[in-house]
Amino acid sequence: MRIIREPTVYLVGRQSTNNAEIERFLADHRVVAWETDTSVAGEKLCELAGRICYMSFAKPRPGGNAAYLERLLSVGHGSVLEHTAWSFIITGVSRSFTHELVRHRAGFGYSQLSQRYVDESVADFVEPDCIAEDGELHEIWRSAIEHVQEAYVKLVSGLERTFTGVEDQTLRRKLARQAARSVLPNATETKIFVTANARALRHFIELRANEHAETEIRKVASRMCRILQQEAPNIFGDYRFEELPDGTLAARTEYRKV
């Protein structure tokens, strides 16, 4: 049994632009010259979407893409940020983390490891830091997890006997695993694929990279925020980090919930 203490966040997808079609649109609408100073596709798309609203391609205000997007943030014109999205794979996280994550509905899409199809008899488990750092509590936690894992293995094999009449092997295993998983704890490690647009990601960061959020989701949210600041500084650069007493980070901004 492997015990995990830190989540891993992989940025696996980002937006791209079709510059030829953007040029064709501009030419069709007699925009002689419009260019933006960002090389980030998501930032370019959000600016393009915003400029469509007023057809404000000619004579842009000074400050380039950064100033343009900051103005959108400051006036709360957040719908424009829905035009760009990023995809992440998050691993080394618990089922309690994903239960909280999937409460974020607007602008998010999810695909998560199935406990009906995947054998959890060799699952890893995520231990909260405050338990891991106390020797006595750690032993209580470890022995509870070991006990549960043993029960799961026994239940799967017992249930495979119960469903022995089911000819399809995949279905037989699914029937056994879906019932046996009822004993698995919140600490069971899982993997989730998440796609979200920039507006939804900002809302998620504000709620979850926050001192009121649970520690594990705060760790993930602050990591995603850092990644996104590298990816699209003009959309996420306003967040400032503050270290909390437990060593995790909270993200602050003056442009809350755009």
Q: Note whether 77 binds ligand FAD by CB under 6 A.
A: no
Least distance CB 219 / ligand FAD (angstroms):
14
- β-partners of residue 91 are 8
Cβ atoms < 10 Å from Cβ of 10: 13
Q: Select the residue whose beta carbon is closest to ligand FAD and give its number.
A: 105
Contact 64, 245 (CB under 8 A): no
- Closest CB to ligand FAD among residues 163, 193: 193
Contact 112, 176 (CB under 8 A): no
- Closest CB to ligand FAD among residues 44, 208: 208
Contact 78, 199 (CB under 8 A): yes
Least distance CB 109 / ligand FAD (angstroms):
12
- Closest CB to ligand FAD among residues 27, 106: 106
Catalytic machinery residues: 208
CA–CA gap between residue 257 and residue 198 (Å, rounded)? 11
Amino acid at 69: L
Span near ligand FAD by CB under 6 A; candidates 84-92, 118-126, 156-164, 201-209: 201-209
Residue of the chain from 51, 181, 203, 219 that contacts ligand FAD (CB under 6 A) = 203
CA–CA gap between residue 211 and residue 233 (Å, rounded)? 23
H helical segments located in the chain: 19-28, 41-54, 64-75, 95-101, 129-132, 135-162, 169-180, 198-208, 215-231, 233-236
Least distance CB 104 / ligand FAD (angstroms):
4
- Closest CB to ligand FAD among residues 147, 257: 257
Amino acid at 198: A
Q: Note whether 138 binds ligand FAD by CB under 6 A.
A: no
Q: Which of the residues 80 through 109 are near ligand FAD (CB under 6 A)? A: 103-106
Q: How many chain residues bind ligand FAD (CB under 6 A)?
A: 10
Q: Note whether 250 binds ligand FAD by CB under 6 A.
A: no
Residue of the chain from 80, 155, 194, 213 that contacts ligand FAD (CB under 6 A) = 213
Contact 194, 90 (CB under 8 A): yes
Least distance CB 77 / ligand FAD (angstroms):
15
Q: Note whether 207 binds ligand FAD by CB under 6 A.
A: yes
Region of 134 please: left (phi>0), alpha (psi -120 to 50) or beta: beta
Least distance CB 182 / ligand FAD (angstroms):
21
- Closest CB to ligand FAD among residues 173, 208: 208
Least distance CB 82 / ligand FAD (angstroms):
11
Contact 103, 203 (CB under 8 A): no
Residue 112 in tokens: 């998560």
Cβ atoms < 10 Å from Cβ of 168: 10
Footprint of ligand FAD (CB under 6 A): 103-106, 200, 203, 207-208, 212-213
